[in-house]
Chains A and B, each alone.
Chain A
Amino acid sequence: MTAVDPGQAGTGAATDPPLLSVEDLKVEYRRGHRVLQAVSGVSLSVRRGETMGLVGESGCGKSTTGRAIVQVERPTSGSVVFEGTELTSLGRAELRRARVGMQMIFQDPVSSLNPRRRVRDIVAEPLDIWGRADGEERQRIVHTMLEAVGLDPESAGPRRPREFSGGQCQRISIARALVMEPKLLVCDEVVSALDVSVQAQILNLLEDLKSRYDLTLLFIAHDLAVVKNISDRVAVMYLGKLCEVAPSETLYRAPAHHYTKALLASALEPDPSAAGRPPALQGEPPSPLNPPSGCRFRTRCPRAEDRCAAEEPLMREVAPGHTVACHFPLAGAVAPPVAPAS
């Protein structure tokens, strides 16, 4: 991706250094003598106070990107700068300290909570580990946090995770993530396993907590409507690479990448008048073990030409804050500059 500053969306002023800046991030796995590149050069910056959505189909590398950002998975190469600190070169002890400011919550809230511990101890665990608070102070923080996520501290505190529903367990996970007062919260498919009514509760809760605690969110999900609802900007990922980044309204109103358009057209809207639309996209993504040459989407793209196979499209700006990696972008398509050979 070019070093284009992505636009004016979000609450942080465009001149502030981003809270999180990811450059050419790569994550590879060895499969015998072959190499599977789950993330192939992702660059992304997230400003203070904004919510960045990361959307794509399963296997596109969006979760791996999230995990590599918080260094749960050490990236093969690339740079992750969080609050001015380069995380990829840190040793274990330094990394632990730097990581306090970034927390991650996952899709399955039930399995991410220790079934044998009481809710109040689960939420207090980070405080205990870091020796941040004990006694009354610890109790007070846990109380406040449980209340903030919409649980009754008195009744929920002494109980264990199995006594709670999926939505309530997700609230407990959120409370635990927030207890260390992180700056960045990475949410990996946090509402995908929940019923719509509970999903709405959790999305509303995240919005409330975000403004209450000045959080910055990286929100990873496959559901386009959910991502649009919560995000200021959205990045679309396909087969290990970003294909488009834009303010969320722009992305949904005027997608520039053919893949984004196809994804939007596949979304099932609760509206009978959408009947009879032709299927947006045939087939399935190719294997990341053997990605197509040039543009990775070309094998399924309605607009693909010879050039798309020969030459990889680079990320470039088509409008302020709107970048796309496509030789033939949609809508107000700009004549593509000659891309340097790579």
Chain B
Amino acid sequence: MTGAERYPAVPTDAGAEPPLLEVEDLHTTFRTPGGPLRAVAGASFTLRQGQTLGVVGESGSGKTVLARTVMGLLAGDNIERNGSVRFEGQELVGASNKTLRSMWGDRIAMVFQDPMTSLNPVMRVGQQIAEPLRIHLGLDRAEARATAVSLLGQVGIPSPEERARAYPGQLSGGMRQRVVIAIAIACAPRLLLADEPTTGLDVTVQAQILDLLATLQDERRMAMILVTHDLGVVATRTDEIIVMYAGRIVERAPTPSLFASMAMPYTEALLGSTPRLANPSHTRLAAIEGRPPDLVSPPPGCPFAPRCRYAQDLCRRAAPPLVAAEQPDHLFACWFPLGGRVGPSPAEPVGAT
């Protein structure tokens, strides 16, 4: 993918409203002893108020790095960030720690996969919710405490008064994740980044947590980025989906359009390898053979080509750009897209290597 392209903005009904988040040609590169590792290589998307964006990919696809870069959480001498992340018009790439800290919790919040490691094990959960309220909103001790109890109730924790005095270790995994969500929404953020918020939880609890997030989002007109490896999680809970592979966005489409007509062979392969309840027992799964490429020395051409059943010579030579065909909001990075679409013309000057 080249850095220079501009992608068409996703049209929504609220055309006049400026997007809450605009990410443009974002790159995150880790310096490693073996050479630069391009964890995110040119991601662009926008997100409007109240909308949910799903980011799907396997381990190592760059989905978590993307979310953390957007939030400004990745910093250090060995990390290089390029491109632009504008939140409510303010540029976050290169912003000072002070600026970022005033955003975190207050306007952008994050929910991580493992609630046990994001909570302080020796602090009562009520106190952990009250802390950001005092820091960001300047509430006094009693107000913060009352709000914390009310938030515990809002995230569906029974007898919140009593639970506020519990330590994280005394709660179940599902309850802990509810506490983490309560902390995240405490200061009424405009954007919530949820990175695998239900992975590791039981199916019944998983459904409850996703429902809770959807309800909170509706009530608060909060936008959400839902990062997951599970197509089942994003299928019913997102407005738009980004599919990532080897650090690149390989498909981006409104959720119904993506599932109705996938353009990218990788997305199709991901769905084909997912066991389905609707299929009979012993249905042979269409496993994707091989492994994702090494991001330090990726192969030339399309990163998925070595594992793609449709790959041709061109795919191994030149990386396809992210383009749209007949639907302007359905983008894909493939020379030979599925569903009878016409791929980009290789004659166009693209960043082939």
Contacts and interface: CB of A to CB of B under 8 A. Distances in A.
Interface of A: 57-58, 165, 195-201, 203-204, 207, 222-226, 228-232, 248-249, 252, 262-264, 266-272, 274-276, 279-284
B206 A266 contact: yes
B215 to A, nearest CB: 10
A225 B283 CA distance: 11
Interface stretch (B105-113, B218-226, B268-276): B268-276
B281 A200 contact: no
Given A196-B230, A200-B286, A203-B275, A270 B235 contact: yes
B203 interface: yes
A200 B287 contact: yes
B239 to A, nearest CB: 11
Interface string B243-271: 00000000000011001000000000111
Given A195-B59, A229-B282, A270 B274 contact: yes
A197 B268 CA distance: 11
B271 to A, nearest CB: 6
11 contacts: A57-B204, A200-B273, A207-B284, A225-B274, A231-B281, A232-B281, A263-B203, A266-B203, A268-B233, A271-B235, A284-B172
Interface of B: 58-59, 158, 172-175, 202-208, 210-211, 229-233, 235-237, 255-256, 259, 269-289, 291
B155 to A, nearest CB: 14
B256 A229 contact: no
A270 B271 contact: yes
A302 to B, nearest CB: 13
Given A196-B58, A200-B273, A200-B288, A268 B202 contact: no
A283 B205 CA distance: 8
Nearest to A287: B172
A272 B256 contact: yes
Contact of B208 (A223, A248, A282): A282
A198 to B, nearest CB: 8
Nearest to B172: A284
A336 to B, nearest CB: 26
A275 B281 CA distance: 25
Contact of A263 (B204, B284, B289): B204
A230 B203 contact: no
A264 B207 CA distance: 11
Given A196-B231, A197-B273, A272-B255, 18 more contacts: A57-B205, A196-B270, A200-B274, A200-B275, A203-B287, A207-B284, A225-B275, A230-B282, A266-B204, A266-B207, A269-B277, A270-B230, A272-B256, A275-B235, A275-B237, A281-B207, A284-B172, A284-B174
B294 to A, nearest CB: 12
**Which one of A262, A268, A276 has the greatest number of beta carbons of chain B within 10 Å?**
A268
Contact of B277 (A165, A267, A272): A267
B281 A248 contact: yes
Contact of A279 (B158, B211, B235, B259): B211
Given A195-B229, A197-B269, A222 B284 contact: no
A217 to B, nearest CB: 12
Contact of A197 (B175, B204, B277, B288): B288
B162 to A, nearest CB: 16
B208 A272 contact: no
A195 B58 contact: yes
A269 B281 contact: no
A274 B235 contact: yes
Contacts of B205: 57, 284
A58 B204 CA distance: 11
| Residue among A197, A262, A264 with most chain B CB within 10 A | A197
Contacts of B256: 272
A200 B255 CA distance: 24
Contacts of A196: 58, 229-231, 270, 273-274
A231 to B, nearest CB: 6
Given A57-B202, A222-B203, A275-B236, A201 B275 contact: no
Contact of B58 (A197, A276, A280): A197
B203 to A, nearest CB: 4
A192 B268 CA distance: 21
Contact of B273 (A57, A199, A262): A199
Contacts of B273: 196-197, 199-200
Nearest to A203: B285
B266 to A, nearest CB: 10
Contacts of A248: 281
Contacts of B59: 195
